[in-house]
Amino acid sequence: MQKRFIGLLLSCLLCLGVALPALGEAEYEKYTTRFFGTFDTIITVSGYAQDEAAFTRIAAGAEALFQHYHRIFDAYSLYDGVQNLYVLNRDGASGPVKVEPELLELLLYCREMQPLTNGTFNVALGAVLSLWRDAREAAEENPNDAAIPDINALKAAAEHVNFDDVIIDEEAGTVAFADPLLRLDVGAVAKGYATERVAEAMLAGEMPSFLLSAGGNVRLGNPPMDGRQRWGVGIQDPDVLAIGDTGSQMLDTLFTADTSVVTSGDYQRYFVVDGVRYHHIISPETLMPSDYYRSVTVICEDSGWADVLSTALYLMPYEEGRAFVDAQEGVEAYWMLADGTTWMTDGAMAMAKSQGASARD
Ligand code: AMP
Ligand code: MG
């Protein structure tokens, strides 16, 4: 009798749209922590754990894994006993370099994905990108003397950007550069790729309901365990320099779960010359920052692929980018054009707060 009454009460509440936590969920609480020192950004870990001790242990594991990948993909520093990207860029022209298996895997991933991006995304663009990086760093030190790289120097560097010259020997675990002036830059993919590896570990662990936010790269695990069906992920307004997940300073908020939300934007890294902003996403064609957008956000499950795609889409004019995304399985996108207008795929629209979406059904 009592059971029937509870059953009836439950179905009434559900009919009324009252969200109830699933059995056992009440034991879970949300915790959040932040750390800095990997991938040049603040990384936020949130998740629903049974107690604080469990959360702290899991978040420490995530941080250690980010640290692990950071050292291997770091192109600017040496670490004792780590055959990382710095070592490869330094020695790759002199012959095969034994690299960490994770770096070999990342390069194999890029070799597979790069041809799918309409000639926009190229990790072998390092020689060109380092000229832009030098110019940006010089501008940060002496803003009054800020200047863009010499176009002839850019053109000369662009002679050495063919990924086919990266010789990967999977059996030997080595990589060599057939072109002595080629350099690799994995800035467009490494953070998302590493985030996906961390997410894989977390999904298989005891806190599968999580949000990982690594400066423009967000990876969501299972839905939050507080009755909401979806997490809310803010898309930053390029003109508002604020860090936060949701709120009025956002361009929009996307409600979703079990996926990645990755943004490339002109506000993330840039310098100014004569009032013109030069950002960090460089067209292999013009060798200049592309000026179609303020930001492009990609929503798809794999964070590595989302990272590749956000950079690639940033370099495609809207019509081409839209056709490109429409042809992809499970990929949605949200564009903010240079003039401030926004466009989104139907799937992105269904997630967008501006279109009426919410965290609950
Ligand atoms: P993201 O913020 O993911 O769009 O990546 C931007 C970073 O990717 C830059 O800071 C560069 O290190 C690198 N990058 C810029 N242009 C390209 C490109 N066309 N292909 C591959 N990597 C690029
Ligand atoms: Mg990217």
Encode pLDDT of 236-288 as tens digits.
999 886 554 444 679 999 999 999 999 999 999 999 999 999 999 999 999 99
User: Residue 307 CA: which ligand 1 atom is closest?
Assistant: 3
Of the listed ranges 15-19, 83-87, 277-281, the least confidently predicted one is 15-19
- For residues 226 and 228, what is the distance between their CA atoms, to the nearest angstrom? 6
Residues with CB under 6 A from ligand 1: 120-123, 125, 129, 185, 187-188, 264, 268-269, 280-282, 284, 307, 310-311, 314-315
Residue 329: per-residue pLDDT: 95
Choose among 256, 270, 269: nearest CA to 298. 256
pLDDT at 6 over 60: no
Going by alpha carbons, the residue nearest to atom 11 of ligand 1 is 187
Q: Which helix (H) or strand (E) holds 83?
A: none
Pocket test for ligand 1, best of 110, 130, 154, 282 (most atoms within 8 A of CB): 282
Residue 20: per-residue pLDDT: 45
Q: What percent of the chain has pLDDT over 70?
A: 91
From ligand 2's centre to the CA of 152, what distance in Å? Answer: 27
Enter the pTM of the model.
0.91
- For residues 57 and 62, what is the distance between their CA atoms, to the nearest angstrom? 9
Going by alpha carbons, the residue nearest to atom 3 of ligand 1 is 188
Pocket test for ligand 1, best of 311, 313, 314, 316 (most atoms within 8 A of CB): 311
User: What integer is the mean pLDDT of 27-52?
Assistant: 95
Pocket test for ligand 1, best of 40, 85, 89, 129 (most atoms within 8 A of CB): 129
Residue 354 tokens read as 């501006």
pLDDT at 82 over 80: yes
User: What integer is the mean pLDDT of 91-111?
Assistant: 98
Please, are residues 187 and 308 in contact by the beta-carbon 8 Å criterion?
no
- For residues 127 and 94, what is the distance between their CA atoms, to the nearest angstrom? 17
pLDDT at 174 over 60: yes
User: What integer is the mean pLDDT of 69-76?
Assistant: 97
Q: Residue 11 — pLDDT band, cuts 50, 70, 90?
A: very low
Residue 241: per-residue pLDDT: 66
From ligand 1's centre to the CA of 136, what distance in Å? Answer: 14
Q: Which residues 6+ apart lie within 8 Å of 99 measured at CB?
A: 83, 84, 87, 88, 173, 174, 175
User: Residue 192 CA: which ligand 1 atom is closest?
Assistant: 3
- For residues 189 and 195, what is the distance between their CA atoms, to the nearest angstrom? 10
Going by alpha carbons, the residue nearest to atom 8 of ligand 1 is 188
Q: Which ligand has the minimum distance to the alpha carbon of residue 187?
A: 1
Q: Which helix (H) or strand (E) holds 322?
A: helix 318-326
Of the listed ranges 11-25, 134-148, 228-242, the least confidently predicted one is 11-25
Phi, psi (rounded to 5 degrees) for 79: -130, 140
- Top-confidence residue, 279 or 9: 279
User: Residue 217 CA: which ligand 1 atom is closest?
Assistant: 3
User: What integer is the mean pLDDT of 78-87?
Assistant: 98
Q: Residue 27 — pLDDT band, cuts 50, 70, 90?
A: confident
pLDDT at 343 over 90: yes
Residue 249: per-residue pLDDT: 77
From ligand 1's centre to the CA of 168, what distance in Å? Answer: 22
Q: Residue 307 — pLDDT band, cuts 50, 70, 90?
A: very high
Going by alpha carbons, the residue nearest to atom 1 of ligand 1 is 188
User: What integer is the mean pLDDT of 173-178?
Assistant: 98
User: What integer is the mean pLDDT of 213-228?
Assistant: 95
Mean pLDDT of the chain: 92
From ligand 1's centre to the CA of 161, what distance in Å? Answer: 14
From ligand 2's centre to the CA of 22, what distance in Å? Answer: 36
Going by alpha carbons, the residue nearest to atom 5 of ligand 1 is 188
User: What integer is the mean pLDDT of 165-183?
Assistant: 98
Q: Residue 206 — pLDDT band, cuts 50, 70, 90?
A: very high
Q: Which ligand has the minimum distance to the alpha carbon of residue 285?
A: 1
Q: Residue 211 — pLDDT band, cuts 50, 70, 90?
A: very high
Token look-up 């800020």 returns: 146
Residue 240: per-residue pLDDT: 85
